[in-house]
């Protein structure tokens, strides 16, 4: 929204689930959406909906998590609402993050240009790895997963924020578009970016970083790490001459990044070159593979 000489960027997302991280995730996931514009998130508001069995302790836990997350991102919590809502089995936190920038000084997911290099930060399936290592911990142990690997995977929640990489990449220059791949994973995020930009894309599977924890968990559950919810990673479309500079600046901030492909003229050609060098159509996820694993309808 343009307000005089300033532009205001706002985003809203709900977080549903256990109390353990719900407040922390509400701040970070909404802040991520603002950061994909290249804008620093500054303000946060929340609407907390609670089951009828909720007590003051639950409210305190959620609000303390939001407070800690906001302080870490240097955001101000400027308002909110809390109520008991009949019919809920788990808390719901609807968050709204807001950032302010100079008028027009931002990018969207739809700004990629033909020839732009496609950069992925961190690795595929960050959030999904953390969720599965937590929610399917006992199952994975029984399937032969190493306890230390699962404990390491649970800490992937700490990697969910993409605010630093979004701001760093944008300030470096040459960024035409950014998008955080959430549901549908990296492949879903790439399609969404290409859809928004009305372009094709060519991606190289061997260049897509996948953490060893993600590889092992997905192998055991027989799901595709490239179609696993990937909050914590950022997709960046950059002018070719800026791509390596962006990666260098991200690495200075201790954020890994790799060029995984490039955008193509026209919207029809969307391909992935597999590790065996076979070129095939870029799969468009029908659903996030997290849900396949959580419902035990394991992908074949």
The confidence score (pLDDT) of residue 298 equals 45
Q: What's the confidence (pLDDT) of residue 299?
A: 41
SS3 233: strand
CATH of 117-294, one of 3.30.2130.10, 3.90.650.10, 3.40.50.1970, 1.10.3720.10: 3.90.650.10
Q: Token pair for residue 266?
A: 């026209």
Beta bridge partners of 196: none
Q: What is the pLDDT of residue 9?
A: 98
**Quick one: three-class SS letters along 68-127?**
HHHHHCCCEEEEEEEEECCCCCCCEEEEEEEEEEECCCCCECCCCCCCCEEEEECCCCHH
Domain ranges of the chain: 2-102, 117-294
pLDDT of residue 295: 84
Helix axis angle, 163-172 to 240-252, nearest 10°: 130
10-residue block means of pLDDT along the chain (300 residues)? 96 88 95 98 98 93 97 97 94 97 97 98 97 95 97 96 98 97 96 98 98 98 97 98 98 98 96 97 96 69
At 296 the pLDDT is 67
CB 104 within 8 A of CB 71: no
pTM: 0.93
Looking at the DSSP bridge assignments, the partners of residue 99 are 9, 41
Give, in degrees to the nearest 5, the angle at Cα 71 between 213 and 35: 65
The pLDDT assigned to 257 comes to: 98
Superfamily of domain 2-102 in the CATH hierarchy: PurM-like, N-terminal domain (3.30.1330.10)
In 3D space, the residue among 96, 83, 155, 94 whose CA is nearest the CA of residue 126 turns out to be 155
Please state the three-class secondary structure of 29-52 as a single string.
HHHHHHHCCCCCEEEEEEEEEECC
């Amino acid at each position: 929204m343009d307000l005089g000489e300033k532009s205001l960027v706002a985003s809203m997302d709900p977080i549903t689930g256990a109390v353990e991280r719900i407040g922390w995730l509400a701040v970070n996931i909404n802040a991520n959406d603002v950061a994909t514009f290249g804008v620093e998130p500054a303000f946060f508001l929340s609407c907390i909906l609670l089951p009828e069995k909720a007590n003051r302790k639950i409210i305190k836990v959620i609000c303390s998590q939001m407070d800690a997350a906001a302080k870490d991102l240097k955001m101000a919590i400027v308002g909110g609402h809390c109520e008991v809502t009949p019919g809920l089995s788990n808390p719901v936190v609807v968050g709204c993050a807001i950032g302010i920038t100079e008028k027009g000084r931002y990018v969207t997911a739809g700004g990629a240009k033909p020839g732009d290099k496609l950069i992925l930060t961190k690795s595929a399936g960050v959030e999904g790895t953390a969720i599965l290592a937590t929610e399917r911990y006992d199952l994975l142990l029984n399937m032969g997963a190493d306890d230390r690997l699962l404990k390491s995977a649970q800490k992937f929640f700490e990697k969910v924020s993409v605010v630093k990489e979004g701001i760093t990449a944008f300030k470096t220059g040459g960024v035409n578009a950014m998008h955080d791949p959430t549901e549908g994973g990296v492949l879903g995020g790439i399609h969404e970016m290409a859809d928004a930009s009305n372009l094709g894309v060519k991606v190289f599977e061997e260049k897509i970083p996948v953490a060893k924890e993600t590889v092992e968990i997905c192998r055991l559950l027989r799901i595709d790490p490239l179609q696993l919810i990937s909050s914590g990673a950022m997709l960046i479309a950059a002018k070719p001459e800026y791509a390596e500079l962006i990666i260098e600046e991200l690495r200075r901030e201790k954020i890994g990044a790799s060029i995984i492909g490039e955008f193509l003229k026209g919207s029809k050609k969307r391909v992935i070159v597999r590790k065996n060098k076979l070129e095939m159509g870029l799969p468009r996820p029908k659903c996030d593979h997290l849900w396949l694993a959580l419902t035990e309808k394991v992908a074949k």
